[in-house]
Amino acid sequence: MQKCFDVGREILKWIAIMTMTIDHIGAILYPEYTFLRHIGRLAFPLFSYLLVLGMESTRNLKNYFARLFVFAIISQVLYYLALGLGPFDSLNVLFTLSSGVLFIQFYKKNPLLTLIPLLASVLLPFDYSVYGIATIGCLYILKSDTQTGIVSLVLINLLFLPMWPPQIFSLLALPIILLHNNGSLKIIKEVDGKTPYPPWRKYFYIYYPLHLTILYRIGVGF
């Protein structure tokens, strides 16, 4: 049952979903339109910030991690079919986010343990690789220390700029994240304590394999 929910967080979810969808429309259907991929750069930092919020609000972190990991496994075949990859050329972004959960949890308990997910992101073909884990870490820092989080996120993107120039557009997500983090976009709506938590909010990551399926079917002409 829920007593309140954050409307601003829901807005961030929809922005993340829309920018991710635009990114994949560009990658799968219209690769010649690079501006679609540039818009899509906003998606990952938004999902990373939502991951941090999700870890803070969940009552069962193990279940939260398990949901992400199960959706990652379900999505993998659709991911490589839709993007024309080999089965193990790249692991979809839900694997990266799952590892981000471990990274943050290890950071809280023993910072040395963070080397495990970081090393995994180097050795395994995670989408966003070590950059992705580092970005999740930066947004975890930003949640409690805004200035340090901003500086670290900018530095990470500058460090990867020579290898991945378009990813610098991901910093355009920063103002949206800051609006929520400083409270301007944190709109809390009170509801009665008898209202069940809507399943679509809890399992919104199901959109990932669903939209890949649709785009794949459009790409091959149904």
pLDDT in tens, the chain (222 residues): 555 678 889 999 999 999 999 999 999 999 999 999 999 999 999 999 999 999 998 889 999 999 999 999 999 999 999 999 987 899 999 999 999 999 999 999 999 999 999 999 999 999 999 999 999 999 999 999 999 999 999 999 999 999 999 999 999 999 999 999 998 888 777 666 555 655 556 668 899 999 999 999 999 876
151: its two tokens = 């500086």
Shortest CA distance to 180 belongs to which of 172, 188, 168?
A: 188
d(CA 16, CA 139): 15
Q: Is 89 exposed, middle or buried (0-12, 13-18, 19+ CB in 10 A)?
A: exposed
- pLDDT for the residue numbered 202: 64
- The angle at the Cα of 46, spanning 66 to 210, to the nearest 5 degrees, equals 55
d(CA 170, CA 58): 26
d(CA 120, CA 112): 14
Domain ranges, residue 50: 2-219
Total number of domains constituting the chain: 1
Between the alpha carbon of residue 44 and those of residues 77, 80, 129, 220, the distances in Å are 20, 18, 12, 26
d(CA 58, CA 156): 28
Length of the chain: 222
Answer yes or no: are the C-beta atoms of 153 and 174 closer than 8 Å: yes
pTM for this model (two decimals): 0.92
